[in-house]
Structure 1
Amino acid sequence: MEDGWPLRRAAERFQVAVTTARRWAERYRRYGTAGMADRSSRPHHSPRRTPSRTERRIIKVRLARRWGPARIAFLLRLNPATVHRVLVRYRLARLSHLDRATGAAIRRYERTAPGELIHVDIKKLGNIPDGGGHKAHGRATGGRNSSAHRDPARPRTHHGRPNLGYGYLHNAVDDHSRLAYTEILPDETKETAAAFWQRAQAYFTECGITAQRVPTDNGSCYRSILWRELLTGQGITHKRTRPYRPQTNGKVERYNRTLLDEWAYARLYTSETERRQALPAWLHTYNHHRGHTALGGHPPASRVPNLSGHYS
């Protein structure tokens, strides 16, 4: 406009269509420099927009039943994409952000420094028979391997039933950094839980993390006098979650799920020994290399600056 270039030459110079160059030239003639700012591409009129009455029905079903777009669409005979757009337009919270029983938004929190809160929990996991179970070989062969399995510490109570036994994953996860410590132990007694915590605390101390509070569920080992006196003697506050509310200890519960998805059931193991041997390497990857969505794609070790190898 200022240099008097023809529209076609200007469009060729800036590699745009002639119609695009004409549109910007008209905006400059009418509004000057202010017309060069980007505008919203939202149309002035939307004759095919979902009717308001239908939108109200979608919102009513969502709030009353807490269903996802697919189920709402099936009920109201709509396209799931249409239902999803309406839910997004009115900024209704995702179902994963709501408590299914009450519909209230889940309160999410994160401590400001490592050690302020270390979540502890136990996950029970069935052992794999020697030779592999049904996931590796199918029901027939896997069943034979399971029936042939013998655990001297667990005598068979029913003839013909496999006696595989269980492993108990004792887990401790730091609230701020998500740094985790895991051991596979033979039971969940108070003595085993207390010994695990002493080793877990030694690990966190070595990483420069001083435990201040430890929340657990209401398992018998955590209600014992031994557990209470152990934490009290170390100057640590023990908190127990509300009954039937695992969300209170949600970070270690989510870690349990990650542990099962990415280690326990990630590939076909031929024995329990093989699976247990793979745990240390996976745990190192989780703490030092695996990106965590809650940490912006960084591993837990990135939030523990005095961890080995992180000195500047």
Structure 2
Amino acid sequence: MGPSPSRKSAGPRDAATKVAHHRLSVLDLAKELGNVAEACRQRGLDRTSFYEWKRRFQTQGFEGLKDLPPIHKSHPQTTPPATVERIRALALEHPAYGCNRLEALLRLEGIAVSAITIQKILNAADLGTRTDRWLALEKANADKEIEITPEQAAFIEKLNPCFRERHVESSSPGELLSADTFFVGNLKGIGKIYLHAVVDTYGSYAFGFLHVSKQPEAAVAVLHNEVLPFYRHLDLPVGAVLTDNGREFCGTDKHPYELYLDLNGIEHRRTRVRTPKTNGFVERFNGTILEEFFRATMRETFYETVEALQADLDAWLVHYNTERPHLGYRNMGRRPVETVMSFVSQEA
């Protein structure tokens, strides 16, 4: 005898019909016995399912006893992939914009998406907050030369103080110093106190001199007594000083600060008018010294003289320059003195 013909397996429709007949038989048995519980026990069906199938049979007939078709993995109203990509691109193009403004921009392009949906899409792409978009923007462009829009530059500058300092580039210690005068506060019996600060843009090495005035002579004093001796000791030239347009730094040809720089062969660079933030390097130092030194020490100590405050400032500057690690792309966790001495050792 030859082999018996193989039995064909039931197709999906036959299987669905078979399951529907089984459920109908349970309904018929319950009607015949007059006992739902006994019918369910005999046919292996729970009572909750029995009443669900009975309801569907009464409303839809035999077809209601069949299993419903599988639910699509993607909802018919799912945002199209092209729209999702456009939302991500707009979020990086305008990182400071909120979802309502992005919704308005998309509407101008003929794309109707609610602000809530936009927020969900950005959350899924790890772009839900302004900081997320800022980090994504920096990461995407960290290793390549790019041209960014003024809007993107302003946004990154606001969140990352290091960014606005990147225009202040120097290839060696002393090549470019950043100077500023910072109002510290009032000392009882003394009056207003100003900090005349100078910061090296190469490695953040900082100098500070306290005085009761903003006169040019005080601004010159920190250069003459501290800055130039430091670089002469290391046999490093001072190339230029960047300042704002304050009266202590610039004026006529006979201005003391201008004359001192000229006599020492130092170039004087100035920030653009009405944009002092272009000297953001020293501004960042002012914020750091205010937060980490002045606000703390002037609450704890009553200073009767400027000299006493200067002594504590000098000690803090030693900590700032030689002990405190600095983040950012210039030092990358090193201390300023390490960055300076690393250059000196390479040149030796």
TM range (shorter): 0.5 to 0.7
Pick aligned residue for 1:194 from 206, 211, 220: 220
Match of 2:290 in 1: 260
CA–CA separation in structure 2 for the residues paired with 1:292 and 1:177 = 9
Match of 1:98 in 2: 153
1:210 matched to 2:255? The reply is: no
Q: What amino acid maps onto 1:56 in structure 2? A: R
Moved more, 206-215 or 230-239: 206-215
Moved more, 268-277 or 248-257: 268-277
Pick aligned residue for 1:185 from 211, 228, 239: 211
Match of 1:304 in 2: 340
Pick aligned residue for 1:239 from 269, 289, 308: 269
Do the aligned residues in 2 keep the contact of 1:214 with 1:237 (CA within 8 Å)? yes
Match of 1:9 in 2: none
Q: Secondary structure at the match of 1:176?
A: coil
Moved more, 298-307 or 189-198: 298-307
In the alignment, structure 1 segments of 5+ residues that lack a partner are: 1-44, 129-148, 152-164
CA–CA separation in structure 1 for the residues paired with 2:310 and 2:321 = 18
Do the aligned residues in 1 keep the contact of 2:95 with 2:152 (CA within 8 Å)? no
Match of 2:41 in 1: none
With a CA cutoff of 8 Å and minimum separation of 6, indicate the structure with the bigger relative contact order.
1
Q: Secondary structure at the match of 1:66?
A: coil
Distance 1:275 1:193, change over 3 A: closer
CA–CA separation in structure 1 for the residues paired with 2:134 and 2:245 = 42
- Deviation, 1:234, is 0.6
TM-score relative to the length of structure 1: 0.60
Q: Secondary structure at the match of 1:127?
A: strand
Match of 1:269 in 2: 300
Moved more, 119-128 or 181-190: 119-128
Q: Deviations over 1:135-165 (max 9, x none)?
A: xxxxxxxxxxxxxx444xxxxxxxxxxxxx3
CA–CA separation in structure 2 for the residues paired with 1:185 and 1:302 = 29
- Deviation, 1:301, is 0.6
- Deviation, 1:272, is 3.5
Give the total of aligned pairs: 231
Superposed, which structure 2 residues align to 1:1-312 within 5 Å? 52-53=82-83, 56-57=86-87, 59-60=89-90, 63-64=93-94, 66-67=96-97, 76-77=115-116, 78=119, 81-82=123-124, 84-85=126-127, 91-93=136-138, 98-100=153-155, 107-127=166-186, 149-151=188-190, 165-199=191-225, 200-224=227-251, 225-266=255-296, 268-272=299-303, 276-294=310-328, 295-305=331-341
Distance 1:275 1:227, change over 3 A: closer
The answer to which structure has the higher helix fraction is 2
Match of 2:46 in 1: none
Q: Is the radius of gyration larger for structure 1 or structure 2?
A: 2
CA–CA separation in structure 1 for the residues paired with 2:137 and 2:344 = 44
> Sequence identity of aligned pairs in percent?
27
- Deviation, 1:108, is 3.9
Distance 1:253 1:115, change over 3 A: same
Q: Deviations over 1:11-53 (max 9, x none)?
A: xxxxxxxxxxxxxxxxxxxxxxxxxxxxxxxxxx999999653
Do the aligned residues in 2 keep the contact of 1:122 with 1:169 (CA within 8 Å)? yes
CA–CA separation in structure 1 for the residues paired with 2:337 and 2:137 = 35
CA–CA separation in structure 1 for the residues paired with 2:344 and 2:277 = 32
Distance 1:50 1:172, change over 3 A: farther
Q: What amino acid maps onto 2:229 in structure 1? A: A
Q: What amino acid maps onto 1:169 in structure 2? A: L
Do the aligned residues in 2 keep the contact of 1:119 with 1:173 (CA within 8 Å)? yes
CA–CA separation in structure 2 for the residues paired with 1:249 and 1:89 = 22
CA–CA separation in structure 2 for the residues paired with 1:109 and 1:46 = 51
Distance 1:90 1:50, change over 3 A: farther
In the alignment, structure 2 segments of 5+ residues that lack a partner are: 1-72, 104-113, 140-149
CA–CA separation in structure 1 for the residues paired with 2:91 and 2:293 = 39
CA–CA separation in structure 2 for the residues paired with 1:258 and 1:102 = 17
